[in-house]
């Protein structure tokens, strides 16, 4: 019996280890002539360990060679073409089966990734000696190679070992599939490695997580600093990721190599590093970028025309806004997107009251700014139901902003009513009373019309006490009442509520086409039933509200 088989049979993990050290990993593929239990032969150590139930040996062997999981026996039946797991199952070795399943669940993972995680340089060296440089091409469950994992985790010693053994082409390793962008984790040691190995940079995006489908410029174009131009599928560069995560130290290392040219790198959607730092609120990164690039960076626009200042407001990053305002002054307050929205427009929908208050402190006239369709920041806030933002704006602009209208004649109350923003509607009515209920759009719609058409009964209930009698008889340019529009929108609950308030008289009203609400409901059985019920239940004394 060969020594390796004897060691496995005895569950001698240390002996197996010593034999591998002496003879190399090829010994694991040795064919044996061990005869046991009816001349059942196995041609690998792992198969025999699985058959005899040597759990410790199985575990040790799989740490060294997880690819052995797929090895198939080539000796005679009944074990021909069996994997180690199949051998263990047929032999009834449940503990071995559990051990093998543990490695199967980790699929592509291997001991080398654990060695990287624990910064075990000696084990990495040993594994490379045992398996050759092909071990550095292995992928974990997230499609990372050991080198990419080492860079991500800041294992500079392991990075150097991998580079020295594999060669410069290891820098070109990338991920095949873009998963989730995560933190840029390069630290001080990686920065030193970056400075010391600038001539090696030929396209690999080490130092941050989840890179994929890199698009790098040629060596001749950037004289060895291609790494700074590697891009994700969406166009992120390493410098952008560093800025997004506020890693000023990493940014400085990259800027020392790439200069101001990298400040204006843009993603496919037009975002720069300053846009990304503004979004995530990393004020120190923003300040550093502005120190390098100045006012020019504040004018950079993404594909929708948003500047970094507008992005900062959109995400409520007040400290970032202050840093930018200190550099750009009040001029940046009136920057507009391609749709005409200012920073105040963009801060309003997200409920960023502190950002709104700061913007108004700098310039109260921002309340009159209009987008391409005449929407003001106050209208935007009401349409999104942001009552605290509305209050901050109302404290600055007073009741006059209640009557602001878009190009289509819509007020804040129209938008809040249409979108079912009950709290916003209540606040607007508290400020403006009946007057704001009577404002009409260019099509003649009142806020009640829009609430009824959209079926927002809660909003209608708030309006009804303020509107009094006659609110239900208001008509649009086509002669439609709120009841007509509720029927048109298929809103049974709104129809019921309007008829509870107004009764049979409202059913008699015809629009400009000569149709009653009942006529319009001819092909709507549920609503038609509601109308008929109220029509017959209400006598001639029914009043219109």
Cβ contacts of 488 within 8 Å, gap of 6 or more: 453, 480, 520
Judge whether residue 545 has pLDDT over 50.
no
Q: 10 Å Cβ neighbour count for 530?
A: 18
Q: Contacts for 76-79 with beta carbons within 8 Å, 24 or more apart?
A: 76/41, 78/40, 79/40, 79/41, 79/42, 79/47, 79/51
By the 8 A CB rule, do 253 and 191 touch?
A: yes
Phi, psi of 448 (to 5 degrees): -65, -40
Mean pLDDT of 179-196: 38
* pLDDT tens, residue by residue, 484-503: 999 999 999 999 999 998 87
Considering only 197-206, 354-363, 375-384, which range has the smallest mean pLDDT? Answer: 197-206
Q: Which two tokens stand for residue 149?
A: 């994992």
Class of domain 443-545: mainly alpha
Judge whether residue 20 has pLDDT over 70.
yes
Report the share of the chain in percent with pLDDT over 90: 52
pTM tops 0.85, yes or no: no
Mean pLDDT of 256-272: 95
Q: Measure the CA–CA gap between 144 and 34, rounded to whole angstroms.
A: 40
Per CATH, which fold does 3-105 belong to? 1.25.40
Region of residue 468 (left: phi > 0; alpha: psi -120 to 50; beta: else): left
Torsion of CA 468, 469, 475, 480, to 10 degrees: 110
* pLDDT tens, residue by residue, 24-80: 777 766 654 443 443 356 668 788 888 888 888 888 888 777 777 777 877 666 777
Q: Measure the CA–CA gap between 320 and 366, rounded to whole angstroms.
A: 19
Angle formed at CA 510 by CA 509 and CA 513, multiple of 5 degrees: 170
Domains 3-105 and 443-545 share a fold: yes
Q: Where are the domains of the chain?
A: 3-105, 443-545
**Between 211 and 192, the higher pLDDT residue:** 192
In the chain, DSSP finds a helix count (H) and a strand count (E) of 33, 0
pLDDT of residue 110: 61
């Amino acid at each position: 019996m060969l020594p390796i088989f004897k060691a496995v049979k005895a569950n001698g993990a240390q002996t197996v280890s010593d034999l591998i050290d002496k003879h190399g990993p090829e010994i694991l593929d040795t064919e044996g002539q061990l005869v046991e239990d009816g001349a059942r032969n196995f041609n690998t150590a792992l198969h025999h360990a699985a058959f005899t139930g040597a759990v410790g040996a199985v575990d040790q062997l799989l740490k060294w060679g997880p690819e052995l999981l797929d090895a198939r026996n080539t000796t005679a039946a009944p074990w021909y073409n069996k994997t180690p797991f199949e051998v263990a199952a047929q032999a009834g070795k449940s503990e071995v089966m559990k051990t093998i399943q543990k490695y199967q669940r980790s699929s592509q993972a291997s001991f080398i990734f654990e060695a990287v995680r624990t910064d075990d340089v000696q084990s990495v060296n040993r594994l490379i000696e045992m398996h050759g440089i092909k071990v550095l091409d292995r992928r974990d469950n997230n499609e990372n190679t050991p080198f990419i994992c080492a860079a991500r985790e800041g294992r500079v010693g392991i990075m150097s070992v991998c580079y020295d053994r594999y060669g410069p082409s290891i820098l070109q390793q990338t991920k095949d599939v873009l998963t989730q962008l995560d933190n840029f984790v390069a630290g001080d040691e990686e920065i030193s490695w970056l400075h010391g190995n600038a001539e090696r940079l030929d396209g690999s995006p080490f130092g941050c997580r989840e890179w994929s489908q890199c698009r790098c410029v040629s060596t001749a174009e950037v004289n060895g600093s291609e790494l700074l131009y590697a891009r994700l599928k969406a166009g992120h560069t390493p410098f952008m990721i560093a800025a997004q995560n506020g890693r000023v130290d990493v940014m400085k290392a990259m800027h020392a190599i790439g200069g101001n040219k990298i400040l204006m790198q843009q993603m496919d959607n037009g975002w720069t590093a300053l846009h990304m730092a503004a979004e995530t609120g990393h004020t120190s990164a923003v300040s550093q970028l502005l120190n390098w690039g100045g006012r020019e960076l504040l004018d950079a626009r993404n594909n929708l025309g948003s500047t970094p200042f507008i992005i900062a407001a959109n995400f409520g990053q007040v400290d970032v806004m202050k840093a930018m305002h200190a550099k750009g002054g009040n001029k940046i307050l009136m920057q507009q997107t391609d749709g005409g929205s200012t920073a105040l427009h963009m801060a309003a929908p997200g409920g960023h009251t502190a950002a709104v208050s700061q913007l108004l402190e700098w310039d109260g006239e921002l309340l009159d700014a209009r987008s391409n369709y005449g929407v003001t920041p106050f209208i935007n806030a009401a349409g999104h139901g942001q009552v605290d933002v509305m209050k901050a704006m109302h404290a600055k602009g007073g009741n006059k902003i209640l009557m602001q209208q878009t190009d289509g004649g819509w007020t804040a109350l129209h938008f809040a009513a249409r979108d079912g923003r009950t709290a916003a509607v209540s606040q607007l009515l508290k400020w403006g009373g009946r007057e704001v209920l009577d404002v009409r759009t260019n099509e003649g719609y009142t806020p009640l019309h829009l609430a009824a058409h959209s079926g927002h009964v809660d909003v209608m209930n708030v309006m009804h006490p303020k509107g009094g009698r006659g609110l239900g008889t208001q008509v649009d340019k086509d002669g439609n009442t709120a009841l007509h529009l509720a029927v048109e929108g298929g809103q049974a609950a709104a129809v019921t509520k309007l008829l509870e308030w107004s009764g049979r008289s409202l059913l008699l009203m015809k629009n400009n086409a000569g149709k009653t609400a009942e006529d319009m409901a001819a092909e709507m059985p549920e609503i038609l039933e509601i109308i008929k019920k109220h029509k017959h239940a209400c006598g001639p004394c029914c009043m219109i509200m």
